[in-house]
């Protein structure tokens, strides 16, 4: 089968049936089939062809012959006995009730009406989370067939031998009998007290125990904080590249994510002029990710001060994602932006997933600080949503006090001789030694965001690059576009594996790029 022939026929049939790519995604969701917009885009552009089961689904949805769609010289239309797809049925408010039904789903209800189908919310149409997206789905399919895949796509410490400190496990085990019931919605007193004291050490102003909220990881709290704040059309400034959950949660809440550039030529620091140019009368807040994921950048005080000055000038809130604040190398110090803004309202996020290598325990927190008088109504909204989810994971909350007090085992990893430090140095040097690849040295976290010479490799689609690397070398990375980066010239590598594993991966990447042309 010719991919070009298939793509041509797919596009022709879509035009004839008045269908868009999103129609297939909705139909697949209603049929229990895993299919994303990126998959359809690959098919429609002729870059790849679907598996047999997906080919059948596409043919059924379009109501065309499968052998015609796959490129054979046969009529397009099915036999007359086969039902043709119905036009989408609309409810009174104009929403789609029933998309083009597949043959197997074209049965009528007892009253003779077409069967009702349930589609995902259109609020998800602009939500992207490619850290666990189509390329990851393809890797899972390959693993299901017995293929080993090296996963350099996600910051999950446990599979790479980073263990939870023994004291943390011991304390959780001994407190489990006391964690069978709900806690207060904001969290256990002991956990919140420890977090409050940590916030004081970071010089966050005007923080009491009532300003501390625990969550099932920072992810839950990001979603909650955006949902409590945004009305349709409200804008939030978010870095590009970003941790994509921020953009996804803003869009899901009805807001608009507006991306300000971070400058690779300046250690990936935020471009303040670009940030300023994107502020409008609809802008409510600025998001800062420091230390940054995916670049590993650490922002100095003078950069943070410029952001504070901008927020002060335009009366904006500041959301600061600081989950990696204890994974800082090279003798540098992390500064919480809220400590520079006592007159502004700030929300600071952190947790134990990375610093204590307990990603699966799901324990994070957010701290409200500064001028809370201007956010009384918003805080009521946060409290309402916090109460609605009852509480966060109580066993995980029980170890916060232990984790934040005493010896910080992560410090042994981030100094010369420590695993994260040495692996950071290795991957930085190895990537920069590959012709056509450059990378800025990370100062924190455990990610690096290398740049590809797109002219040398003729790259126009970073997702296709990630798929090709996966297929050829069994290495899974996350494309730059997955972090809302605007060009197809970057990808993120997690450098948690030991050096011998990273060495094998970079040897394979070097070999792959020696012949790869998209």
Of the given ranges (33-47, 82-96, 331-345), which has the lowest mean pLDDT? 82-96
Judge whether residue 33 has pLDDT over 60. yes
pLDDT of residue 80: 55
Residues 239 and 246: their CA atoms lie apart, in Å, by 9
Residues 225 and 235: their CA atoms lie apart, in Å, by 14
Report whether 430 contacts 499 (CB < 8 A).
no
Residues 102 and 396: their CA atoms lie apart, in Å, by 46
Determine how β-strand 89-90 pairs with β-strand 96-98.
Answer: antiparallel
Is residue 417 left, alpha or beta, with left meaning phi > 0 and alpha meaning psi from -120 to 50?
Answer: left
pLDDT of residue 101: 41
Judge whether residue 427 has pLDDT over 50. yes
Decide which of 255 and 108 is more confident: 255
Mean pLDDT value of segment 284-311 = 97
What CA–CA distances, in Å, run from 273 to 246, 284, 335, 338, 516? 21, 18, 22, 21, 37
Residues 78 and 150: their CA atoms lie apart, in Å, by 44
Residues 250 and 127: their CA atoms lie apart, in Å, by 9
Judge whether residue 260 has pLDDT over 50. yes
pLDDT band at 76 (very low <50, low <70, confident <90, very high): confident
With the C-alpha atoms ordered 188, 397, 166, 411, is the resulting torsion angle positive or negative? negative
Judge whether residue 358 has pLDDT over 90. no
pLDDT of residue 99: 43
Judge whether residue 468 has pLDDT over 80. yes
Separation of CA 463 from chain center: 15
Residues 425 and 423: their CA atoms lie apart, in Å, by 5
Decide which of 119 and 477 is more confident: 477
One DSSP character per residue, 410-450 reads: GGGTSSTTSHHHHHHHHHHHHHHTSTTEE-PPP-BTTEE--
3 state SS for 170-234 = HHHHHHHHHCCCCCCCCCCHHHHHHHHHHHHHCCCCCCCHHHEEEECHHHHHHHHHHHHHCCCCC
Judge whether residue 34 has pLDDT over 90. no
Please give the structure tokens belonging to residue 443: 């100062």
pLDDT of residue 108: 52
Report whether 282 contacts 235 (CB < 8 A).
yes
pLDDT of residue 104: 41
Residues 161 and 108: their CA atoms lie apart, in Å, by 55
What are φ and ψ of residue 453, in 5° steps? -80, 95
Per-residue pLDDT of 77-103, as tens digits, reads 887 544 444 444 443 444 444 444 444
Separation of CA 379 from chain center: 26
What CA–CA distances, in Å, run from 300 to 268, 297, 306, 492? 11, 10, 10, 23
pLDDT of residue 82: 44
Residues 147 and 180: their CA atoms lie apart, in Å, by 41
In the chain the domains, ranked by start, together with CATH numbers, are 6-70 (1.10.260.40), 130-155+415-515 (3.90.1150.10), 165-407 (3.40.640.10)
Judge whether residue 349 has pLDDT over 90. yes
pLDDT of residue 206: 95
Mean pLDDT value of segment 30-34 = 77
Mean pLDDT value of segment 229-241 = 95
pLDDT of residue 283: 97
In the β-sheet with 269-270, what is the strand arrangement from edge to edge?
212-215, 364-370, 345-351, 317-321, 283-289, 235-240, 256-263, 269-270
Residues 57 and 39: their CA atoms lie apart, in Å, by 13
Per-residue pLDDT of 103-133, as tens digits, reads 444 445 556 667 777 887 877 777 767 666 7
Of the given ranges (155-164, 314-323, 336-345, 488-497), which has the lowest mean pLDDT? 155-164
Judge whether residue 322 has pLDDT over 90. yes
Please give the structure tokens belonging to residue 440: 């800025």
Tokens 């015609």, residue located? 68
* Residue 328 CB neighbours (<10 A): 16
One DSSP character per residue, 294-351 reads: TT-----HHHHHHHHHHHHHHT-EEEEE-TTTT-B-TT-----GGGG-TTSEEEEEEE
Please give the structure tokens belonging to residue 4: 């070009």
Judge whether residue 493 has pLDDT over 90. yes
* Residue 510 CB neighbours (<10 A): 16
What are φ and ψ of residue 457, in 5° steps? -100, 0
From first CA to last CA, the distance across the chain in angstroms is 20
Residues 255 and 240: their CA atoms lie apart, in Å, by 17
- Report helix, strand or coil for 497: coil
pLDDT of residue 83: 45
Please give the structure tokens belonging to residue 268: 């990936």
Per-residue pLDDT of 163-195, as tens digits, reads 888 888 888 888 888 888 999 999 999 999 999
Percent residues over pLDDT 90 in the chain: 60
Mean pLDDT score of the chain: 88
pLDDT of residue 2: 60
Residues 175 and 462: their CA atoms lie apart, in Å, by 47
Judge whether residue 518 has pLDDT over 90. no
- Look up the pTM and report it: 0.77
Judge whether residue 492 has pLDDT over 90. yes
Residues 350 and 408: their CA atoms lie apart, in Å, by 16
Residues 173 and 351: their CA atoms lie apart, in Å, by 20
């Amino acid at each position: 089968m010719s991919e070009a022939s298939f793509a041509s026929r797919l596009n022709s049939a879509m035009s004839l049936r008045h269908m868009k790519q999103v129609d297939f995604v909705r139909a697949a969701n209603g049929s229990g089939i895993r299919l994303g917009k990126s998959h359809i885009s690959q098919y429609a552009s002729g870059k790849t062809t679907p598996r047999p089961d997906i080919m059948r689904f596409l043919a059924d949805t379009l109501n065309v012959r499968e052998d015609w769609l796959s490129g054979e010289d046969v009529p397009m239309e099915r036999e007359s006995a086969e039902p043709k797809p119905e036009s989408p049925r609309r409810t009174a408010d104009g929403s789609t009730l029933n998309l083009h039904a597949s043959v197997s789903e074209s049965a009528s209800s007892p009253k003779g009406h077409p069967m009702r189908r349930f589609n995902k919310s259109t609020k998800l149409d602009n939500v992207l989370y490619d850290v666990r997206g189509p390329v990851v789905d393809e890797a899972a399919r390959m693993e299901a067939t017995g293929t080993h895949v090296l996963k350099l796509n996600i910051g999950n410490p446990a599979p790479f031998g980073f263990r939870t400190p023994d004291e943390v496990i011991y304390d959780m085990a001994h407190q489990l009998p006391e964690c069978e019931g709900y806690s207060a919605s904001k969290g256990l007193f002991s956990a919140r007290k420890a977090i409050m004291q940590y916030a004081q050490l970071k010089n966050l102003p005007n923080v009491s125990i009532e300003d501390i909220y625990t969550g099932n990881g920072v992810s839950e709290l990001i979603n909650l904080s955006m949902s409590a704040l945004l009305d349709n059309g409200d804008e939030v400034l978010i870095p590009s590249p970003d941790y994509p959950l921020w953009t996804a949660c803003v869009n899901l809440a009805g807001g608009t994510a507006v991306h300000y550039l971070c400058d690779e030529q300046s250690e990936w620091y935020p471009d303040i002029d670009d940030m300023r140019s994107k502020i409008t009368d609809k802008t409510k807040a600025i998001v800062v990710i420091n230390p940054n994921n995916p670049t590993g950048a650490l922002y100095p005080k003078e950069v943070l001060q410029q952001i504070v000055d901008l927020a002060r000038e335009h009366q904006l809130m500041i959301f600061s994602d600081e989950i990696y604040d204890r994974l800082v190398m090279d003798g540098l110090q992390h500064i919480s932006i809220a400590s520079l803004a006592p007159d502004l309202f700030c929300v600071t996020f952190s947790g134990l997933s990375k610093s204590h290598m307990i990603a699966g325990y799901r324990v994070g927190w957010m701290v409200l600080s500064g001028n809370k008088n201007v956010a009384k109504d918003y805080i009521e909204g946060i409290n309402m949503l916090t109460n609605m989810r009852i509480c966060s994971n109580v066993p995980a909350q029980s170890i916060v006090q232990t984790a934040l007090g005493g010896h910080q085992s992560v410090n042994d990893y981030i100094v010369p001789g420590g695993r994260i430090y040495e692996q950071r140095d290795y991957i930085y040097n190895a990537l920069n030694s590959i012709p056509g690849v450059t990378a800025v040295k990370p100062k924190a976290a455990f990610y690096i965001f290398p740049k590809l010479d797109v002219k040398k490799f003729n790259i126009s689609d970073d997702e296709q690059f990630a798929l090709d690397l996966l297929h050829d070398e069994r290495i899974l990375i996350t494309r730059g576009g997955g972090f809302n980066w605007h060009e197809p010239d970057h990808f993120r590598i997690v450098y948690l594996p030991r050096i011998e594993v990273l060495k094998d991966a970079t040897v394979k990447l070097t070999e792959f790029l020696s012949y790869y042309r998209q």
